[in-house]
Structure 1
Amino acid sequence: MSLDTARPAPSDQGTLADQVTAALRQAIHDGQYPVHSNLPTEAVLTQRHGVSRTVVREAISRLRVDGLVGTRQGSGTVVLGANPNVPFRIDLDMRGSADHAIYVLELRRSVEAEMAALAAQRRSRAEAATIWRALEAIAQATRQGRDGVKEDIAFHMAIAQASGNPLFPSMLRFLGHLLTDTMHLTRGHEAQYPRKAQKVIAEHTALAQSIQDGDAVAARRAASTHMRNTDTRIRAAMQEHASAAAGDAPRSPARPTPRRRKQETHP
């Protein structure tokens, strides 16, 4: 069965619109719908994929944004030629998925170590000061009982700006809600364990200090350590959520039942 005619997979593959978009995109790439040919009508796609017209329209809208299809008067939706300016996109549905949180972290780990090293080599005094202010903002948010996610993202963005490479801050902005989702997960977990929260502060401080010192080796090491420890915290948080959902909250050990002493009888 071709991808286009298959019904959407279970929800772990994303929303219905995600699934229909992926199926149509693959069908176009495979040549099932050649360049200059028409896509089936909304009614046909609705029946074929077992979804509503609203979902089909959303999928076609996404393909149009990607430059894969266009609308011509009297011709419906037409498949276009190769578009050299197709935007980069990440088709992930982050909701409730431990794997996707880990995927985002693995991407960050490969990028942020080099980003921190370049920041140590290229940062200006003003940029170093911005990094420290962002770090203090995280601490202040924590003291005020807030999760500090916005401040945490601002801290990493300040490092990206200090790297001198405009692609680093651009990529962090692109990751957007994916970063927010993973940080909500980890910082919510840290809030329950003060020692873990203090360790995160120490990791951030080491990273900021190495950048201020201009030590690229130490900055790369500090960023890698932070990402590796974040990986551990994400996995721990997901495990706790899974246990709580399954009703496996830790129970207090049962106290042994004291033995009743046999009453002595005297003649």
Structure 2
Amino acid sequence: MTANPTDTSAVQGRTLVAKVAEDIRAQIAKGRFKSGDRLPSEAQLTQEFGVSRTVVREAIAALRSDELVEARQGVGVFVLEPPARTRRVFQNADLARVSSLIEMLELRTAVEGDAAGLAALRRSPGQEEKIFEAFDAFRTSAEKGEPTAETDFAFHLAIAEATNNPRFAEFLHALGPAVIPRRAVAADGEETVLPNADMRRIVAEHEAILAAIQNGDEDGARAAMRSHLKNSQTRYRSILRAPR
């Protein structure tokens, strides 16, 4: 089906807004802009990022909604004190327990399924390359029999970032690499070693997700991700029922 040019333009606009907002957010996090500092003017930001004023305004609006900056009439936009930390999300999730582990996998199935579909539609060439590199690192670790939780998480995070909706990446960052089940269920906090046949299936599932994203297949990417995470639920129900 041929894409509607208007839809493509809208997606590109959302992508630019997300990129500018994330870049400014990162600069605040790294200390380039500290609490109380005034951000560069709208004209300066437009020139710095090579985007329109509309994109800059929407990016600033996103930062305002996150309470990172505030606009002062006639003065400019200023960086705010970081908001007080609230109770850490998911802090009651004990991922060593089958109930919490399956709950998180069900939640990830819902969220990451849509993330994969959006990544298939919105990814940039650079983001697609990052997904491929993460998959290649994961596959290499698996083939060598090395721990794969970190590279597995990096693959899922690269897909979340390729949605160009920062909330998906924030969701995974809130969970962290420990949400990868074979690390979560290990008694020593390292990583449960899976049978070679299981690891080959997991690599194949990741490859199916990658292929669908590279082909721009929204429905296929969503289905491949959901299948992978549902299969994970089945795998880890079996592992957690076995003597440990």
Q: Give the TM-score taking structure 2 as reference length.
A: 0.59
Aligned partner of 1:225 in structure 2 is 227
Pair 1:176-2:176 in alignment: yes
How far the C-alpha of 1:176 sits from its partner, in A, is 1.4
Q: Which of 234, 237, 241 is 2:236 aligned to?
A: 234
Q: What residue identity is the alignment partner of 1:196?
A: D
2:239 aligned counterpart, secondary structure: helix
Structure 1, gaps ≥5 residues long: 1-82, 246-267
Task: Name the CA distance, whole Å, in 1 between partners of 2:118 and 2:129.
Answer: 16
The answer on whether the counterparts of 2:95 and 2:185 sit within 8 Å (CA) in structure 1 is no
Structure 2, gaps ≥5 residues long: 1-82
The count of residues paired between Structure 1 and Structure 2 equals 158
Residues 124 and 170 (structure 1 numbering): CA distance in 2 closer, same or farther, change over 3 Å?
Answer: same
Task: Name the CA distance, whole Å, in 2 between partners of 1:201 and 1:186.
Answer: 20
Aligned partner of 1:137 in structure 2 is 137
Q: What residue identity is the alignment partner of 1:140?
A: T
Q: Which aligned pairs between 1:29-178 and structure 2 lie closer than 5 A?
A: 86=86, 89-94=89-94, 96-176=96-176, 178=178
Residues 119 and 177 (structure 1 numbering): CA distance in 2 closer, same or farther, change over 3 Å?
Answer: closer
Task: Name the CA distance, whole Å, in 2 between partners of 1:178 and 1:107.
Answer: 15
Aligned partner of 2:37 in structure 1 is none
Aligned partner of 1:198 in structure 2 is 200
The answer on whether the counterparts of 1:128 and 1:162 sit within 8 Å (CA) in structure 2 is yes
How far the C-alpha of 1:151 sits from its partner, in A, is 0.2
The answer on whether the counterparts of 2:130 and 2:158 sit within 8 Å (CA) in structure 1 is yes
The one-character-per-residue Cα deviations of 1:21-66 (angstroms, maximum 9, x if unpaired) are xxxxxxxxxxxxxxxxxxxxxxxxxxxxxxxxxxxxxxxxxxxxxx
1:89 aligned counterpart, secondary structure: coil
Instruction: Report which structure shows greater RCO (CA 8 Å, sep ≥6).
Output: 2
The answer on whether the counterparts of 1:186 and 1:230 sit within 8 Å (CA) in structure 2 is no
Task: Name the CA distance, whole Å, in 1 between partners of 2:185 and 2:89.
Answer: 24
Q: What residue identity is the alignment partner of 1:165?
A: N
Aligned partner of 2:212 in structure 1 is 210
Task: Name the CA distance, whole Å, in 2 between partners of 1:89 and 1:192.
Answer: 29
Residues 160 and 227 (structure 1 numbering): CA distance in 2 closer, same or farther, change over 3 Å?
Answer: same
2:90 aligned counterpart, secondary structure: coil
Aligned partner of 2:61 in structure 1 is none
Task: Name the CA distance, whole Å, in 1 between partners of 2:88 and 2:195.
Answer: 38
Task: Name the CA distance, whole Å, in 2 between partners of 1:151 and 1:114.
Answer: 21
Task: Name the CA distance, whole Å, in 2 between partners of 1:122 and 1:113.
Answer: 14
Task: Name the CA distance, whole Å, in 2 between partners of 1:171 and 1:224.
Answer: 17
Task: Name the CA distance, whole Å, in 2 between partners of 1:130 and 1:229.
Answer: 25
How far the C-alpha of 1:93 sits from its partner, in A, is 4.5
Residues 143 and 84 (structure 1 numbering): CA distance in 2 closer, same or farther, change over 3 Å?
Answer: closer
Task: Name the CA distance, whole Å, in 2 between partners of 1:122 and 1:87.
Answer: 33
Residues 89 and 216 (structure 1 numbering): CA distance in 2 closer, same or farther, change over 3 Å?
Answer: same
Aligned partner of 1:17 in structure 2 is none
Residues 178 and 141 (structure 1 numbering): CA distance in 2 closer, same or farther, change over 3 Å?
Answer: closer
Task: Name the CA distance, whole Å, in 2 between partners of 1:192 and 1:107.
Answer: 23
How far the C-alpha of 1:104 sits from its partner, in A, is 0.9
1:196 aligned counterpart, secondary structure: helix
Q: What residue identity is the alignment partner of 1:94?
A: D
Task: Name the CA distance, whole Å, in 2 between partners of 1:208 and 1:119.
Answer: 10
Root-mean-square deviation (CA), in Å? Answer: 2.4
